[in-house]
Amino acid sequence: MNRDHFKGMWHQFKGEAKKQWGKLTDDDLKQIDGDFEKYQGIIQQRYAYQWTDRWFAEHPWEDKTKRQAS
């Protein structure tokens, strides 16, 4: 979806966005008002820590220093 399409579909999309991203407030939706960059920024503010935390927890990490010594 390009930015023009996002802006054009904003009124239909914002209800779904609020269902998907439960931390979005009505003020957030008003601030976004179809602007994709604002949407990305607000989602990142609300959820970035959770994404980072989940991503880190889901990936097996190995000690690379041990592997290099082998």
Split at pLDDT 50, 70, 90, the class of 31 is very high
**Integer Cα distance of 31 and 39 in angstroms:** 9
Statement: residue 30 has pLDDT above 90: yes
Which has the higher per-residue pLDDT, 1 or 13?
Answer: 13
Statement: residue 67 has pLDDT above 60: no
**Integer Cα distance of 11 and 28 in angstroms:** 14
Q: Where are the domains of the chain?
A: 21-55
Residues 33-59 have pLDDT tens digits of 999 889 888 888 888 766 656 766 776
- HSE (side-chain half, CA atoms, 13 Å) at 26: 0
Burial class (CB in 10 A: 0-12, 13-18, 19+), 37: exposed
